[in-house]
């Protein structure tokens, strides 16, 4: 008798709820809810929540970071877009105008950057110039000071060491050119279809740790790519980094989409349909929101790396060397303000859980991690759209630099307060890519707020 009364009371309550307020119907699910369902609260493998990241990034960090990235030191990036694809020969080049990259003319790049393209300061630049002069003579220059020779040998050894997660361009190559990132922004170029899918398919199938049972279709827009159950925390993190980068790039393309083109001008803006196609919970069978959460995970990883590398940039002999001393000093001050803001973030990712098990197994896993990522950096030379290749290479190098920092904590802690740092250093290329890559992720988080507002206004 008691169970029957409980059942009847529950039934009456359910009927009352269904009939109240909506004429017997559930409230419609909005487009924003479909895209952003589950994109809230705590992130897997983290103690941080999405809302905290949104507030910190959008209102405290994003405006100052954009100002820094517009400065001369960070806007000019040297890249070789002519390197051949090392994996297949049937690469088809994108013929669209928006796929093209306009390199800088020689007089457009500040002299300080051109003369110090490899290292980050005037002192380091002088050492490298001496080294290059000796190399051109074809023998060791006995006039080099002992300290200079030691620095050159240490830097060369370090650049070829196993600490690097990316196979970087040879910026001394005649094919390497400076590109003004502000004049070649990342946006939708029309590069899509099988050629574009092939790049992501190779990255996911051959380079992402995953259970053998998972099958991923050729098109990255299809479902079934986000399952990472059964992986250890390191392999799960690797997959989520790549998925997060993929998601971030798709956010950029959707936010800077060619909406209208006339013979007078092009109109770029937010394409809500494109965004929904990539992230709507229904259209992606639940994968879209997971991809967005992986974007936040990537944000935390790069944020943590920047907080760890603060001592490197605080050293008095480091400068953002462009040749303009007043400008360089101002930008270093802004850089340090941003880094200390990042360091104050209350819920940083705890990287101590990485490779914390058996030492032999941990070292093997770390090496696998590094080799997988280096392979992905080589795949960027197979991208048929040059603008996509430019931003792909930059963001992969930036993420690789972030990983290098996270795995170099002891080396950073042991750096001398002044003078050359033999054990840990960053080239100018690494610095520019590190901050621009994080700037792209920061922009994605900001754009998610814009898309959320646009989608809510649809209904």
Cβ proximity of 291 and 285 under 8 Å: no
Angle formed by the axes of helices 272-279 and 287-308, nearest 10°: 90
Helices (H) and strands (E) in the chain, counts: 18, 4
Q: Is residue 389 marked as binding?
A: no
The residue written with tokens 């920061």 in the block is 442
The residue written with tokens 């990235």 in the block is 69
Cβ proximity of 123 and 418 under 8 Å: no
Terminal Cα-to-Cα distance of the chain (whole angstroms)? 47
Annotated catalytic residue: which of 94, 99, 131, 385?
Answer: 385
DSSP letters along 15-60, please? HHHHHSSSTTSPPPPPHHHHHHTT-SSBPTT-S-BHHHHHHIIIII
Cβ proximity of 83 and 43 under 8 Å: no
The residue written with tokens 């646009």 in the block is 454
345, 346, 352, 353: CA torsion to nearest 10? -120
For residues 304 and 403, give the distance between their C-alpha atoms in angstroms, rounded to a whole number. 10
Q: Is residue 16 marked as binding?
A: no
Q: Is residue 197 marked as binding?
A: no
DSSP label of 99 = G
For residues 263 and 240, give the distance between their C-alpha atoms in angstroms, rounded to a whole number. 42
- Cβ within 8 Å of residue 160, ≥6 positions away: none
Q: Is residue 200 marked as binding?
A: yes
Cβ count near 176 (within 10 Å): 18
Considering only the C-alpha atoms of the chain, give the largest distance between any 2 of them, rounded to a whole number of Å: 102
Burial of 182 (0-12, 13-18, 19+ CB in 10 A): exposed
Active site residue 388: yes
Q: Is residue 243 marked as binding?
A: yes
Closest to 427 in 3D by CA, of 397, 395, 385:
397
Active site residue 385: yes
Closest to 289 in 3D by CA, of 452, 57, 54, 48:
452
Angle formed by the axes of helices 194-207 and 233-255, nearest 10°: 160
- Number of residues written out for the chain: 459
Instruction: Enumerate the known binding-site residues for FAD.
Output: 187, 189, 200, 243, 246, 278
| Residues recognised as catalytic | 385, 388
Instruction: Enumerate the known binding-site residues.
Output: 187, 189, 200, 243, 246, 278
């Amino acid at each position: 008798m008691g169970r029957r009364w409980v059942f009847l009371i529950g039934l009456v309550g359910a009927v009352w709820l269904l009939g109240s307020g909506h004429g017997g119907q559930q409230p419609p699910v909005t487009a924003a809810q479909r895209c952003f369902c589950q994109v809230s609260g705590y992130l897997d493998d983290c103690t941080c929540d999405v809302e905290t990241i949104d507030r910190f990034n959008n209102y405290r960090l994003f405006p100052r970071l954009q100002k820094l990235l517009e400065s001369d030191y960070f806007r000019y990036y040297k890249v070789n877009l002519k390197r051949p694809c090392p994996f297949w020969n049937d690469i088809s080049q994108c013929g669209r105008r928006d796929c093209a990259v306009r390199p800088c003319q020689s007089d457009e790049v500040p002299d300080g950057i051109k003369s110090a393209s490899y290292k980050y300061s005037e002192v380091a630049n002088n050492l490298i110039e001496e080294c290059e002069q000796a190399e051109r003579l074809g023998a060791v220059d006995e006039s080099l000071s002992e300290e200079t020779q030691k620095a050159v040998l240490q830097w060369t050894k370090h650049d070829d060491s196993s600490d690097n997660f990316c196979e970087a361009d040879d910026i001394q190559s005649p094919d390497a050119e400076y590109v003004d990132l502000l004049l070649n922004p990342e946006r939708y170029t029309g590069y899509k279809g099988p050629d574009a899918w092939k790049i992501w398919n190779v990255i996911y199938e051959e380079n992402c740790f995953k259970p053998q049972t998972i099958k991923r279709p050729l098109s990255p827009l299809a479902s079934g790519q986000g399952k990472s159950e059964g992986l250890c925390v390191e392999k799960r993190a690797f997959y989520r980094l790549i998925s997060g980068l993929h998601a971030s790039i798709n956010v950029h393309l959707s936010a800077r989409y060619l909406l209208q083109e006339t013979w007078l001008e092009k109109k770029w803006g937010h394409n809500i349909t494109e965004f929904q196609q990539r992230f709507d919970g229904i259209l992606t069978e639940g994968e879209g929101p997971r991809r967005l959460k992986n974007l936040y995970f990537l944000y935390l990883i790069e944020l943590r790396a920047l907080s760890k590398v603060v001592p490197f940039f605080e050293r008095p002999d480091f400068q953002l060397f462009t040749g303009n001393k007043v400008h360089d000093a101002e930008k270093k001050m802004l850089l340090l303000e941003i880094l200390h803001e990042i360091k104050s973030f209350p819920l940083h990712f705890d990287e101590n859980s990485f490779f914390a098990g058996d030492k032999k197994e941990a070292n093997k896993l770390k090496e696998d991690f590094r080799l997988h990522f280096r392979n992905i950096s080589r795949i960027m030379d197979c991208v048929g759209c040059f603008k996509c290749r430019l931003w792909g290479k930059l963001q992969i190098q930036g993420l690789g630099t972030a990983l290098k920092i996270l795995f170099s904590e002891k080396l950073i802690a042991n750096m001398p307060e002044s003078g050359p740092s033999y054990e840990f250093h960053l080239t100018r290329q690494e610095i520019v890519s590190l901050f621009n890559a994080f700037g792209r992720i920061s922009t994605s988080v900001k754009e998610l707020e814009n898309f959320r507002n646009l989608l809510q206004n649809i209904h």
